[in-house]
Structure 1
Amino acid sequence: MIITSGTLSALFTAFKAEFQNAQAATPTDWARIATLVPSSSASNTYGWLGQFPTFREWIGERVLKNMAAHGYSITNKKYESSVGVPRDAIEDDEIGVYKPLFAEMGRASTAHPDELVFALLKAGLTTLCYDGQFFFDTDHPVYPSTDGTGDAVSVSNYQEGTGPAWYLLDVSRAIKPIIFQNRRPYALKAMTSMDDEQVFMRDEYRFGVDARVNVGFGFWQFAYCSRAPLTAENYGLARAAMKNFQADGGRPLGINPGLLVVPSQLEGAARTILVKDANSGNPWAGTAEILSPAWLG
């Protein structure tokens, strides 16, 4: 093959098609537990975390509520994946050898949010959220007085144990337990200019994918973690704890724990609790869906 600017343009079009087809065809799970938030700056500050909207009877003037002054920020990070294609391979018409590589790059770009989101979920026992506590903790401060002030009481969304962690989540809200922040989406780019210095020095054309994204925690009240055995009894305790969560001021939150997220070694136990026919004596059948992503192990 004679290499010209037109040849290189057609080559990039072919590689990009492989990348985009695989990107679109790759299944993901992250959107089930994370809310996509667009970003237009280096970081986003979520000062409203901790404030739950509620209604009251309108008597007299409106009562304006100050936003909770939580300085919880998510700073975007840059990620990249790059490959080089030798000029000789193009001249020798070996392009087909590289097409699967670009398809894999497309798959990896779609799967990367899964990696980030579920890695953060696993790190919830050691990573702070908006209230200054670990996301999964035994002493989240909640202010029960009607004006949301006074002494705080400690509320737990974690059950201690020594086994693999499992998670019960409320994913029915506009804000899910985790936030996926997108500043610049994953896109394939090329360095194939005939007069590029690196092309001249290395006799190689470069292709790369990059993005600016990051993940962070939303409301801890929408998630519960347990390292106790996954039994019907412990599942029931987790549901009861979540349904009793209240906002500052003692207002019920109406939590709906509808997704049980488990690692592969607990998928059978989860199905025994949730999928087994209720007529066989299982009171929890159908009370939540099961998600067992490969990223949890």
Structure 2
Amino acid sequence: MDINAATLRGIYTSLSTLFNTRFASAQTYYNTVAMTVTSTTAQNEYPRLDDMPGIREWVGERLVHRLGAQTYVIRNREFEKTIAIPRKNIDDDNLGIYSPVAGQIGQDVAQFPDLLVFPLLKNGDTTVCYDGQYFFDTDHPGFNEQGNTISVSNFQSGAGAAWYLIDDSQVVKPLVFQKRKEFKLVSFQDEKDANVFWKGEFVWGVDGRCNAGYGLWQLAFKSKATLDEANFAAARTAMQSLRKRSGEIINIRPTKLLVPPSLAPTARKLLNAELVNGGESNIWKGTCEVVEIPYLT
């Protein structure tokens, strides 16, 4: 194959198409637990949205509620992946081997947010969030019906595989995926490039800027106790008992049960079976959706 500008553009177009096709079709899970926020600077600063009270009757002047002075920051990080195509493979028209490589890079880019988000979820019982407690903890500062400060929990200890109840019906989600610069396939397409001269290879790669961080702990519950009716009910009740600073119920709806593959059969039986215990109606059937996530293994 002759190596010229047209040839190199054709190779780039072909690989880009494969990259984009696989990127669009790849299975991802991060949207289950994380809201995507567009960033325009090196970092984003988030106010404590759990300080927001409910709507009140307008009596007299407006009562101004200012978001807490305490904020949390998510700093963008830079990531890349680069491959080289030897010039001799282009000379010999031996490019078929790079088609799956381009597709795999597209899949890797699509699934990369999963690799940022789910380690945060898994390590949430040992990582501090904005209120000074671990994201999953037994003594978060909360409120009772009178608006007095009390200790509340979104963690259940145990010795088993962890499972998670998530409310993904809110505007805000438990975690944040922050996107600064989209990943895009780029290349050196000139045979006079230094890499071609010195190493005999054309270089292709992707890079992007993003990061992930914690959002509202109130919308997630982690349990390492046995996944059964009693522990599921306790976790659900704990989430739905949380209140705003004004004493109002937050109206949390646990909509997703996230489990590793090892707990998927138990979870489906718990939430999908029509009958349990030898013929009783399953009161938990359909109360939330089971999502099996390999990253939670």
Asked if Structure 1 and Structure 2 have the same fold, meaning a TM-score greater than 0.5 normalized by the shorter chain, the answer is yes
TM-score (norm 1): 0.95
Partner of 1:219: 216
Q: Which residue of 1 aligns with 2:12?
A: 12
Secondary structure at 1:107's aligned position in 2? helix
Is 1:50–1:70's contact at 8 Å kept on the other side of the alignment?
A: no
Q: Does the 8 A contact of 2:158 with 2:224 survive in 1?
A: yes
Q: CA RMSD in A?
A: 1.5
In the alignment, residue 22 of structure 1 is paired with which amino acid?
R
Counterparts of 1:284 and 1:126, CA distance in 2? 30
Report if aligned partners of 1:277, 1:285 keep a CA contact under 8 Å in 2. yes
Shift of the alpha carbon at 1:114? 1.5
State whether structure 2 residue 241 is matched by structure 1 residue 244.
Answer: yes
Distance across 1 between alignment mates of 2:71 and 2:192: 48
Q: Say which SS state the counterpart of residue 204 (structure 2) adopts.
A: strand
Which residue pairs with 1:230 in the alignment? 227
Structure 1: distance between partners of 2:103 and 2:11 = 14
| Partner amino acid, structure 2, of 1:155 | V
CA distance in 1, matches of 2:153, 2:263: 23
Structure-2 residue corresponding to 1:45: 45
Amino acid at match of 1:161: G
Q: Secondary structure at the match of 2:49?
A: coil
Q: Structure 1 residue 184: deviation in Å?
A: 0.6
Structure 1 residues 1-297: aligned runs within 5 Å: 1-144=1-144, 152-277=149-274, 280-297=280-297
Give yes or no for contact 2:39–2:179 (8 Å, CA) kept in 1. Answer: yes
Q: What amino acid sits opposite 1:242 in the alignment?
A: M
- AA paired with 1:125? D
Question: Does structure 2 conserve the Cα–Cα contact (< 8 Å) formed by 1:50 and 1:130?
Answer: no
Q: Matches of 2:70 and 2:221 in 1, distance apart?
A: 21
Matched pairs, number: 294
User: Higher mean Cα deviation, 99-108 or 196-205?
Assistant: 196-205
Q: Is this contact kept in 2: 1:79–1:211, CA < 8 A?
A: yes
Quote how far apart the aligned CAs of 1:43 are.
Answer: 0.7
Whether the 8 Å contact between 1:46 and 1:70 is mirrored in structure 2 is no
Q: When the two structures are superposed, what TM-score results if normalisation uses the length of structure 2?
A: 0.95
1:206–1:243 distance in 2 versus 1, CA, 3 Å: same
User: How far apart are residue 143 of structure 1 and its match?
Assistant: 4.7
Residue ranges of structure 1 left out of the alignment (5+ in a row)? none
Whether the 8 Å contact between 1:49 and 1:130 is mirrored in structure 2 is no
1:241-275 CA distance string (max 9 Å, x none) = 11101122322101111110011111111111100
Deviations 1:158-195 (A, max 9, x none): 01111111000111001111111000111111122232
Aligned to 2:116, what secondary structure does the other structure show?
helix
Distance in 2 between residues matched to 1:94 and 1:231, nearest whole Å: 56
Q: Which amino acid aligns with 2:11?
A: L
Is the partner of 2:242 in helix, strand or coil? coil
Tell me, in whole angstroms, the C-alpha distance in 1 between the residues paired with 2:217 and 2:141. Answer: 11
| SS in structure 2 at match of 1:118 | helix
Q: CA deviation at 1:39?
A: 0.3
Distance 1:85 1:120 in 2: 35
Q: 1: CA distance between counterparts of 2:246 and 2:152? A: 14
* Structure 2 Cα separation of the partners of residues 49 and 9 of structure 1: 49
Secondary structure at the aligned position of 2:134 is classed as: coil
Secondary structure at the counterpart of residue 238 of structure 1: helix
Range with greater deviation from structure 2 (248-257 or 165-174): 248-257
Report the AA paired with residue 37 of structure 1: V
Q: Note the alpha carbon deviations across 1:201-257, whole angstroms, 9 max, x for none.
A: 111100111111111111111011110000011000001111101122322101111
CA distance in 2, matches of 1:140, 1:241: 12
Letter in 1 for 2:269: T
5+ unaligned residues in a row in structure 2: which ranges?
A: none
**C-alpha distance in structure 2 between counterparts of 1:198 and 1:6, whole Å:** 19
CA–CA distance in structure 1, aligned partners of residues 197 and 50 of structure 2: 56
Name the aligned partner's letter for residue 246 of structure 2.
G
Q: Structure 2 CA distance, aligned partners of 1:6 and 1:57?
A: 69
1:51 Cα shift? 2.5
